Amino acid sequence: MSFQPVKFYQTGTYTVGNRLLAPDARSVQAGELRSNSINSGHRACQGCGEALGARYAIDAAMAESNNQLIAVNATGCLEVFSTPYPESSWQVPWIHSLFGNAPAVATGVAAAMKVKGKNNVRVVAQGGDGGTTDIGFGCLSGMFERNDDVLYICYDNEAYMNTGVQRSSATPPTARTATTMPVGPEPGNVFGQGKNVPEIAMAHGIPYVATATVADLRDLEYKVRKAMKMHGARYIQIFVPCPLGWGSASHDTIRLARLAKETGMFPVFEAEHGEVTGVLKIRNKQPIEDYLKPQKRFAHLFGKHAHPEMVAHLQAIADRNIRKYGLLDEEKAHG
């Protein structure tokens, strides 16, 4: 467990707040004075995981930096739905340049703050998985390598959604995307290596790398706040389900994020200087089908022309994650 859970206040640490908790033990999101970095009226779809994840993360970063924060945004859904010219939902100083250069722009902003002597102003860069793992990857690696004082947050919804649901290097095998032509007779993405950016970030040896989901708010806030206490290049990848791109019900956004973690499909961990220092354990392990079935992008794996071998392959990926990161408690792993 990467953070200390609060025990026995009726709901433990799982809820956003709780009337019985001391105010300082509550989450940032529970506060009436949270900064609401992305305000109401944004044009994200119903049940958007990215809008939620971004508010969770940036509100936490604002709280940790005493509201002295500049956000740099790559092109992507997050930019498109929040800021159609001339209006914006952002309630933080915010800059957008190109799809692929957010890490470089953030480096520049951080350098500018340094030159101006504003050491208290912190910089966060953010983008989707397309802008991060594909298009902006070179700039991102450079930012890591130079150890620039930027926290980069990737909101991972496993495809380019603003271009009409298009495959990215974060799209999982077998997932169907709308605008990418399938390779071979099967409609979904092929089994391949993909691109595990959290591990690539760790390979750069940067001070902090973490993953989180919108289903574990306390863990997410803990990681953002921890990252904001550090300097140098830091990377957090937040798992944000996309109802539109995944073909899931809008009310299932958090449930799917929870299932991704509970099945082992998305390992939630943190690492310092290239070494894993903590994992969020699976509480009740679920079979991979429970995660796949509510999503239409995996519908071709089930039904009349089912592909149990592909489901088994995905289960093997999840099981490998569980082994590799030690996601199950000892007793549960053997029980």
Partner 1 sequence: MANKPFAITLKPGTSLANLTGSWRSSRPVYLNRLPPCNNACPAGENIQGWLFHAESGDYEQAWRVLVRDNPLPSVMGRVCYHPCETSCNRGQLDEAVGINSVERFLGDEAIKRGWKFDAPAASTGKKVLVVGAGPSGLSAAYHLARMGHQVEIQEAGPLAGGMMRFGIPKYRLPRDVLDAEVQRILDLGVTLKLNTKVENIEQSMQLGAFDAAFLAVGAHIGKRAMIPAGDASHIVDAVSVLRSMEGEDKPMLGRKVVVYGGGNTAIDVARTVKRMGGEPLIVYRRTRDRAPAHDFEIEEALQEGVMIKWLSTIKQAEAGEITVERMELDDKGFPQPTGEFEKLEADSVVLALGQDVDLSLLQGVPGLDVKDGVVQVTPDMMTGFPGIFAGGDMVPSERTVTVGVGHGKKAARNIDAWLRGITYVPEPKHEIATFDKLNPWYYSDADKTVRPMLDIIRRQTSFDEVQGGLDETNALFEARRCLSCGNCFECDNCYGVCPDNAVIKLGPGKGFEFNYDYCKGCGICEAECPCGSIKMVPEDI
Q: Is 97 in the site for partner 1 (CB under 8 A)?
A: no
Q: How far is the CB of 55 from partner 1 (least distance, A)?
A: 7
Q: Is 51 in the site for partner 1 (CB under 8 A)?
A: yes
Q: Quote the CA–CA distance of 141 and 138 in Å, as a whole number.
A: 5
The single residue among 107, 177, 237, 253 that binds partner 1, judged by CB under 8 A, is 253
Q: What is the DSSP letter of 134?
A: I
CB nearer partner 1, residue 16 or residue 317: 16
One character per residue 19-48, x = contact with partner 1 (rule: CB under 8 A)? xx-----xx-xx-x---x-xxxxxxxxxxx
Q: Is 74 in the site for partner 1 (CB under 8 A)?
A: no
CB nearer partner 1, residue 44 or residue 202: 44
- 48 contacts 253 by C-beta, under 8 angstroms: yes
Query: What DSSP line would sit under 175-204, residue for residue?
Result: ---SSSPPSSSSSSPPPS----HHHHHHHT
- Helix axes 137-146 and 102-115, enclosed angle (nearest 10): 40
Q: Is 82 in the site for partner 1 (CB under 8 A)?
A: yes
Q: Is 163 in the site for partner 1 (CB under 8 A)?
A: no
Taking the CB of residue 216, how many other CB atoms lie within 10 A of it? 22
CB nearer partner 1, residue 46 or residue 67: 46
- 270 contacts 208 by C-beta, under 8 angstroms: yes
Q: Quote the CA–CA distance of 119 and 113 in Å, as a whole number.
A: 7
Which residue stretch of 95-103, 115-123, 128-136, 244-252 sits at the interface with partner 1 (rule: CB under 8 A)?
244-252
> How many CA atoms lie within 13 Å of 103's alpha carbon, on the beta-carbon side?
28
The single residue among 67, 119, 179, 250 that binds partner 1, judged by CB under 8 A, is 250
CB nearer partner 1, residue 206 or residue 282: 282
Q: Binding to partner 1 (CB under 8 A): which residues in 254-283? A: 254-255, 258
> How many CA atoms lie within 13 Å of 320's alpha carbon, on the beta-carbon side?
6
Contact partners, residue 8, CB within 8 Å, separation at least 6: none
Q: Quote the CA–CA distance of 151 and 61 in Å, as a whole number.
A: 9
Q: How far is the CB of 210 from partner 1 (least distance, A)?
A: 20
Q: Which residues bind partner 1 (CB under 8 A)?
A: 5, 7-20, 26-27, 29-30, 32, 36, 38-49, 51-52, 55, 82, 85-89, 217, 243, 249-255, 258
